[in-house]
Structure 1
Amino acid sequence: MDDAARARDAAREALADVEPEQLREALDSRIGDAAVTPGVLALVTARALEPEVDLGDVADRAAGVQLIYEGLRLTRTVAREEPWVTAPTAAADIDADMEILAADVLVSRGFSLLACTDAARPAVDVVRAFGRDQTLRDREDADAETAAALDRNLEVDALELAVVAGATAVGGDTPEELLAYARDLAADCDGEFPPAGSALPEATADRIADISERAVSATDR
């Protein structure tokens, strides 16, 4: 099973008991269409630091990162489109309410998967940062360039969380250089991630391993 399929399947499994069925189907469809780049990066990071790791043991962390990102991304989309204003009909209101409920479920399930891990606090930080960024974005004096930069912070934060989740899954640290590399990976994203294979260079695992080795060597001096 490749990393994208593993991350996607784990995310779907975490949502399998959601009721009612209409909501579960909407969530499953959203995960099926998602670029699972954050989840994939968590898996790639864990394997880069510990080549013999059982990725089945890391899948829940990857799913947690992915679900939090998807929930916040959906929240951002609804906030930008304002469906209650742009399409003020009963059907549009119901659809918008369903999307807000879906976003809440995605984030809460993501948190539940990371709650007992070393990625729990960073996950909370991601959500708090998202709230601050969106508040600043909605200020009347925020120009288009500033608003776009604030929106893009979500992709940056999601990949930082991914490397933290992957590294701590194998008992590794997350040096600043590794976080900086995650930020570099997100730098070219505009609003959302392209498919995982496009967003993550083939050398990603080697780069992560190299960063970790240099961090360990520096600590041993």
Structure 2
Amino acid sequence: MDRADDCRRAARDAVADVEPPRLYDALADAIDGTSMVPGVLTLESATLLDPDVDLEGEEILTHAAGVQLIYDGLRLTRTLAHGDPWTTRSEAEGGTSDADLQILAADILVARGFYLLARTEVADKAVRTVRAFGRDQTRRDHPGVDPVSVDANLERDVLELAVATGATAVGARPTAPLLGLVADIADIVEINGTSDVCNAIDSGTADAVDTSFPPVEECLSRLETGTLRSRSDPPNEPDDGVTTDRATSATDP
């Protein structure tokens, strides 16, 4: 898919100046190994709200890359937190843990994503997305908490960030059909995660289940019929109070 390739190139370009080469390679591996759904949805959202938008323009691709990098970094953080990566060390690097490099890569990905969105209307929402991720991962192992549902919150929040970013890039606000698309994709992510848990229980690996996005082609093709229905719905007026933030506690920052 051309848009996925464009988003991946933009994301890699955003970290092209990172050194040393080993650290850049870790960043590139994280970008190449992650679904481009967040970046592509940013572009799709802009197109749905303004069919004349230039998706090859540097600004819109930069915004899409910002959303993608934030997701890539948080996803990598989640993967590291759920595993035990410090058991493997690289002798070639004098015993330095590869996990230390991965943690640094995750921090850089999120930081670069923030930088690309810093002067946009969604800058605050990007911050809230990261804060929500931190709260979710803190309570993930609490009694009575469904870890799949908690992990899937990241994907849901990033989808909302993507839709908001695409909308503001063309001077619009997310519409009900776009928010419906977010819910559809998020449901696919959570259903896949729940199914994986069922398959993993017998092997005792349920805690390692990944709720990450499927490839762009799979995700959008499975939603084709529902997406077309959503797009036929009337959009919300700019002042109708639609928000893309999920509910949070009154004590949340």
Shared fold by TM > 0.5?
A: yes
Contact 1:41 1:162 (C-alpha < 8 Å) held by counterparts: yes
Establish whether residue 73 from structure 1 lines up as the match of residue 93 from structure 2: no
Corresponding position of 1:101: 104
Contact 1:48 1:205 in 2 (8 A): no
Q: Is the 8 A contact 1:27 1:102 kept in 2?
A: yes
Judging changes above 3 Å, is the alpha-carbon distance between structure 1 residues 217 and 110 closer, same or farther for their aligned structure 2 residues? closer
Q: Is the 8 A contact 2:88 2:97 kept in 1?
A: no
Q: Pick closer, same or farther for the CA change 1:156–1:217 going to 2, 3 Å.
A: closer
The Cα shift of 1:197 comes to 1.3
Q: Deviations over 1:91-136 (max 9, x none)?
A: 5861110110000000000000000001111111110100010011
DSSP 3-state at the match of 1:187: helix
Alignment of 1:167-178 (within 5 A): 167-175=167-175, 178=178
Cα deviation, 1:47-101, whole Å, max 9, x if unaligned, reads 11111111123101110010000100000000000223xx265658611101100
- CA drift at 1:217: 9.2
CA RMSD across the alignment: 2.3
| 2:47 matches 1:47 | yes
Q: Which of 207, 214, 230 is residue 194 of structure 1 equivalent to?
A: 214
Matched to 1:215, the amino acid is: N
- Structure 1's unaligned 5+ residue stretches are none
1:165 correspondence with 2:165: yes
For this pair of structures, how many residues does the alignment match?
213
1:45–1:205 contact (8 Å) kept in structure 2:
no
Q: Which runs of 5+ in 2 are unaligned?
A: 194-210, 241-253
Residue type at the aligned position of 1:161 = L
Deviation at 1:30, TM superposition (A): 2.1
**Conservation of the 8 A alpha-carbon contact between 2:167 and 2:174:** yes
Whole-angstrom distance in 2 between the partners of 1:217 and 1:100: 40
More divergent stretch after superposition (19-28 vs 41-50): 19-28
Sequence identity (%):
49
1:185 is aligned with what amino acid? I
Separation in structure 2 between the aligned mates of residue 11 and residue 64 of structure 1, nearest angstrom? 7
| Match of residue 215 from structure 1 | 236
Q: Structure 1 residues 88 and 22, CA, compared in 2 at 3 Å: closer, same or farther?
A: closer
Could you tell me which of 134, 138, 147 is aligned with 1:135? Answer: 138
